[in-house]
Structure formats: C-alpha cells, structure tokens
Structure 1
Amino acid sequence: MIATYRHLGITDECVTCEACGKPNLRSTVVLGILDTDGNVEGTVYYGSSCAARALGARSSRDVLARARAAHRKTVAAADLARDFFTRYDLPEDGTITTKELIKAACKIAPDNRHVCVDYDSSIETTMDLIALHRRALADANLISGESR
C-alpha cells in the first residue's frame, strides 16, 4: 500500500532526512501520514527533495512553498484552537467533565444555531469542535518539535 501524505509544515527541530538519512539540513518538511479516513496517524521528517519524491511533486521548490503555506495554516489553526479552549473554559487536553461539556455547549449553541437545534446536537457539536481543535494543537506540536 502506498502512503498518502499531507503537508503539516516545516521544522528546524529535526534536521536529518528520515528518507535518505542526509544530516545537517536547514529544516525538514513535516508530512503527516494519512489513514484511510484522512486523519494523520504518523509523521515523517523529509528533506525537500525526498519530500518531493514522496509526494510526486515536480520540484523541491514547490514542496517547500506548499510546506510553508501549510505551516502558516497549521499555526493559525492552533491559535484558533487555543482561543476556543480559553473562550469556552475547556482544557486543551485530558478529560473534560460532563459539567464542563454542558457549560461549553450552552455557550456554543447560540453561536451555531444552524447545527445546535436541540440539546443532543449541541453536545455533539461541542464534542466535534473539541476534537477538531485538539487535532489542530497536535498538528502544531508536530511542527514545533514538542512531540520529539
């Protein structure tokens, strides 16, 4: 089976290409390995040339441009996620109590009237948003080097 990747960004925390082993790179492209549902199940840190080969891209310059754009998007999503957790008084990781979940759902429902039409949909939407924002923070940790 051929791996499918998604650009997550670039990092200077890992400066050795995991594909060819070339050391002392200025930075590496962080690629998320996607499962069949499109979720990141692992990461690889490749130099731009190896990333281009893995992605079937025309050039390493193109890969770097896309990686930089993905980096900006990943950082912005993480900032949005931190704002979400602060705004709704939720922990960024760990267990969320039922009381915290209900309190957050009551705050989120007025902002999402198109999906929060009843109690169950408000709770479900809140849980979906929590999962989405936690994934954004996890992706940001992969490019910042905190997970290595």
Structure 2
Amino acid sequence: MVSPKGSDVFTPEERARVMAAVKGKNTKPEMIVRRLAHALGYRFRLHRKDLPGKPDLVFPGRRKAIFVHGCFWHGHDCARGSRQPRQNADYWRNKIGRNVARDASSLAALSALGWQVLVIWECEMKDRDALSARLRAFLGH
C-alpha cells in the first residue's frame, strides 16, 4: 500500500489502520485447514484459551492441537517468511523474534502437558493433497 503522499512511508494513522486490519483468527490459511480437517471427518474446537498459545484447532479427545502460522508473522524460513521490511526494520525484527520465542514456549508447554502439536505454515496451503495427507497422518488413530 502506498500512502497518499506518493511514498511507501505511512503516517502513524495510516500504519495503525493497516495493522488493525490484520486478523489473528479465522484467517484464510486457517479456514483452509479447518475445511480440510472437517472434510476428512475430524471435529475440533477453536482457539482454546485454556491451552498455552491458544491453538487454532484443538482435538481434545486425541490431545492434539494445530497451529496455522503465517510465514511472515512467525518467522518461517521460506521466501515469504524471510522477507525483511525496509521501514522500521528493527521493530519488525524484534517483533517477529518475540513471536518465534512465544511460539516455541507454547509448543514446549503443550508438549509438557501431554499434547501433540502440529504447525502448518501458510506456504504449505498450495498443495492441498499433501496438506490433507499430513492432517490424516497427524490425526489418525
């Protein structure tokens, strides 16, 4: 997005508006995973606040949880995740670093509670057959 001034630098108000539009729940990648899991016959709960990290999909009877991570926001090592913003680079490096640390802490805490966890990255949405196979393998009996 380019600001009305013609440059790629946002005013604080413009930046706030852009950031407010970023969703944390019910994102497109998350909806894809939810639809696939449901189509495969699995039933789940969403965003359980009583579990570390509030997993996106929770399968309580199986003690399994799935996080659907955006590559940029969670510091994935793919092309999209390794992009570095030019504006306010230190802020973004620190923010994404905190997200990665929080994710690792949540995974460790869930594991310590006896939960199995699967992380699905946004870049993995392209191959739905492979994603379905991965879900089946993780959730299978």
TM-score bracket for this pair, using the shorter chain length:
under 0.3
What's the TM-score, normalizing by structure 2?
A: 0.27
Q: TM-score, normalised by structure 1?
A: 0.26
Answer with 1 or 2: which has the greater Rg: 1
More helix by share: 1
